Amino acid sequence: MKKYPHRPFTFLSIGSPSIRKNSQIAVNAFLKLFGERDDVHLLYKSVDSPDARIFKNGEMKSVYNQPYPTSGEGWGLLPYQSLAKAIPTICTNATACTEYAELSVALDYKMGTANMNGIYEGHGQWAEPNFQDLCDKMLYVISSYEEVSAKTYQNVVKVYDEMIWESAVKDYGNRICQILKEQKVKL
């Protein structure tokens, strides 16, 4: 079913407190573009303590159209689920999201050594989302919502026809076997 924007228009950022989900860049882009406007909102979802911060008057404060400027994904379920529901999604076209980011609004990035912490620290290169492109794409989604919504809705068929769990599990299974063979583990 085609989705219509909420009123006030609402962006959603999910994934905190994992730094690779880039909640801070989503919050920063929203504040730069919309500040305290009443007609545009950002819903910021966090599991446990949020990692994004808002600085207002010198104080630090904590804080379903989805900006998802991710640095890296294993499965990429959150943006994938949004697309499967025909919800326009701004998603970094990197790691696990490369198969479907273009089905809605792909976000530019470059590969770099973004400073990850916790279990992701020291694990090579990560996607570094382009901040200005995120700002541009957020404005584009608002100004061209009908067009973006129609494109996303049209591509839901591709999600349902081609991106089913059976094929995803097969690809992951093949990759695991390849890794085990490279490590010379007997199957």
Q: Is the pLDDT of residue 63 over 50?
A: no
Measure the CA–CA gap between 128 and 159, rounded to whole angstroms.
26
pLDDT of residue 37: 86
Measure the CA–CA gap between 90 and 88, rounded to whole angstroms.
7
- Alpha-helical (H) ranges within the chain are 23-34, 77-84, 131-143, 145-162, 165-182
| C-alpha distance across the termini of the chain, in Å | 45
pLDDT of residue 68: 60
Q: How confident is the model at residue 29 (pLDDT cuts 50, 70, 90)?
A: very high
Domain residues of the chain, as ranges? 9-182
Question: Which of 56-70, 74-88, 134-148 is the least confident region?
Answer: 56-70
How far is it between the farthest Cα atoms of the chain?
A: 61
Phi, psi angle pair for 159, to nearest 5°: -60, -50
CATH domain 9-182 topology: Rossmann fold (3.40.50)
Q: pTM for the whole thing? A: 0.72
Q: Are 10 and 65 in contact (CB under 8 A)?
A: yes
**Segment 95-130, tens digit of pLDDT:** 778 877 888 899 999 887 666 666 666 666 778 889
Q: Which residue has the higher pLDDT, 108 or 1?
A: 108
